[in-house]
Structure 1
Amino acid sequence: MAKQILKVSEKDFFDQMGVFFIGFVSQYGYDRVLSVLGRHMRDFLNGLDNLHEYLKFSYPRMRAPSFICENETKQGLTLHYRSKRRGFVYYTMGQIREVARHFYHKEMKIELVREELLFDMVHVTFQLTFDNRAFTMASLAMTREEKHLPISASVLFEIFPFCIVFG
């Protein structure tokens, strides 16, 4: 097996395969798709599910994972990864870290907080630590805009999670 020949752990092998994958897909033009998923790393992570939905048109048998961000701060966020495919945790960590480095010029630390199997679904919680100043800027802009609305913008976002707001 490759990891035995290379004399690396399974974790390191799959992590580096995730890093390599970003360079590999870039050779085939997918780097342009990845680069427009968001202006900031937080936007990219929030748009991953939409990217996978788009890719299902080209790859109909794809079993796409799901990503949910929460507890966002200016130092990072908590990322939930769910997939029916097992064994991709470290691969995913390598991909996310390489996207941060390659497209957003950010160093990212990823900590595996919890991994559990729920029915046929793998649910993993990661703590991502990176310079997330975009969160602070977005929060300040939203706070300023909310002052002019007769109701809180968060109420609208809860009622209409997929809406467009023009300022």
Structure 2
Amino acid sequence: MTVATRILFVDDEPAYCRIFSKRIGADPRFQVETAGSGPEALARLQQSPADIVITDLSMPLMDGIELLSEIKSLYPQIFILILTSDDSTSQVVKAMKAGAYDYLLKPFDFEMVERAIETILSHKAAILAGLCPECRDGEQYCFENLIGQDRKMFEIYEMISQVA
């Protein structure tokens, strides 16, 4: 029996919450909850942690970046998608640097949302299996996608690879 992927959708516009819940929640693979604000989302996560959080960037009380930062500090295993109607590069870069897995533009196409969720689930499965999808043939672990230029860290990665 497969456990449904828990998705928390956060948007201060109730119509978006209803539409998302109806469309994505219709798929038995997903269990959808909604929240209308950042503080409400954090309260829901405390009651029932999600696998994926999809949050609007622009919200009163707590914007999507603040929510993202708070979730990342409390629940680092949760994947977060940011929704934005503003495709300004600075906001998107800020969200990605804060730890967002990806972003989608509003109004969103549900096929794109479903593809983003599938990508996250594939990535999560690879992590749980201890495999990196970008690894070359026969390698189980790789460090090519880590960002950093410290020679000592490269030496550590090399030692880990040799031990593995």
- The interval holding the TM-score normalised by the smaller chain is under 0.3
Larger relative contact order, structure 1 or 2 (CA cutoff 8 Å, min sep 6): 1
Per the normalisation by structure 1, the TM-score is 0.24
Which structure has more strand as a fraction of its residues?
1
